[in-house]
Structure 1
C-alpha cells in the first residue's frame, strides 16, 4: 500500500510517497496531493526524507540516505542512477548524461527519462541543463530548478 504525506517547504508544496519502506515518488504542488489515491500517513521513511530535504534546502546537506525504489523501465532506472553521479553544485547536459550511460546518441531518450524521474531533488534531475547552458524543463517548474541550482552553487562557493 502506498502511503503519502504533504509538506510546505521552501520549494513549495511537496508530497512524499512511500511503499514498503521505500521512497517511491516526490510530487510538486497541491496537485500532487490528489493525483493518485494513497493512504495519508507520515511514515518513518517519509518523515526522514522530509527532514533531509529541509537540511538540503538550508544548505546543510548535499546527499540523501533514504531507501529509494523509483518505478520505471530499465533504461529509465539506468539514467536515474547516472543522475546520482552528478556532483552537488555541478550541471551536466543531456549529452553528458547519455555519454555517462554509454549511449552517446540517446540524448533525447535520456531527456525523456530525466523528465519521468519520480524522485526529483533526491535523484538530482535539476542538475541537467541544455547543451547551450540554458535551463530546460523541470517538473517543479523552471523557477524551482533555478532556486535549487542557485542553492547548491551558493553552498559550494
Structure 2
C-alpha cells in the first residue's frame, strides 16, 4: 500500500487458521440441525437436540424402576412411581442444568485461554513496534547530526 508522499505503509495482520469447530457436533449445537442440514431432519431429531444436555436416567433401588427424564419431563413409555416422581424430576432438572453449566464453563475457559494468547501476541507486537520506532528515531537523530556537521563544514569553508 502506498500512502502520501510515496511512503510505503506495511500493515501486520494475523490470520486465524484454526478449524472453526472441534467437531461437527459442536457446530450443530451452536447453529442447530435445521440450519446445517437445510431442514431435512424430522421434528423428533430437533427434540433430541433440545434434550442433549438434559437427558438423565436413574434406577430406583426400592422399586427397581428405571426413570428417564428429559428436561424435567418423563420420557415416553417410562412410568415414574408416585413417591419419587417429583424429587427425581427436580433432580433431573438440576443435573441437566449442571451439565449445561459445565459445558458453558469449559467454553468460557477455552475463550479465556484464547483471549490470553491474543493479548500476549498483541503485547509482543507492541514491544516490537516500540523497538522499531526507537530505532527509527535514533537513525533520524544520527542523520540530523550528520547533516548539521556537514552544514557547519560547508559554512566554515
Common fold by TM > 0.5: no
Query: TM-score, normalised to structure 2's length?
Result: 0.20
Greater fraction helix: 2
Query: TM-score, normalised to structure 1's length?
Result: 0.20
Q: Larger relative contact order (C-alpha < 8 A, sep ≥ 6)?
A: 1
When Rg is computed on C-alpha atoms for both structures, the one with the higher figure is: 2
Greater fraction strand: 1
